[in-house]
Amino acid sequence: MKKVPGVPIKCGFYDLGLPPTTDPQQVLLDAVGDLPNTSKGTRTLIKILHHYGRKTILMHWMGGVSPTMKKWRRQVNTVLPLYKLTFEKRGNMTKFTKIWEPWLTQEGLDVDYRNLI
């Protein structure tokens, strides 16, 4: 696993094999369209993960407890069946698989969602 300066090694994207998004503009404004060598499905997954990362931070903004990777993963895992249902209803499970496969095949998921693909 290659360490990028200024990025904690367990940032989540390394675990998924996704390119690191260290630029604040990419994270805050979802400006991931210019990531080199990434497919549209990969960029879509990064945008979704950024969204739930920001949501996790906002949910803990004024509280006494800091957001954690576990809470972020829980947020994503909670909505994952809803994304699957949406793609099923649209009849586009191939697209769901392209987008979510890195997330669903990672090690250490809190819940086994591998049966979704």
**pTM of the prediction?**
0.74
Segment 35-50, tens digit of pLDDT: 767 788 888 898 898 8
- The residue among 18 and 109 whose pLDDT is bigger is 18
Asked if residue 11 has pLDDT above 60, the reply is: no
Tokens of residue 81, six digits: 């069946």
80 close to 100: Cβ distance less than 8 angstroms: yes
φ/ψ of 43, rounded to 5, equals -65, -35
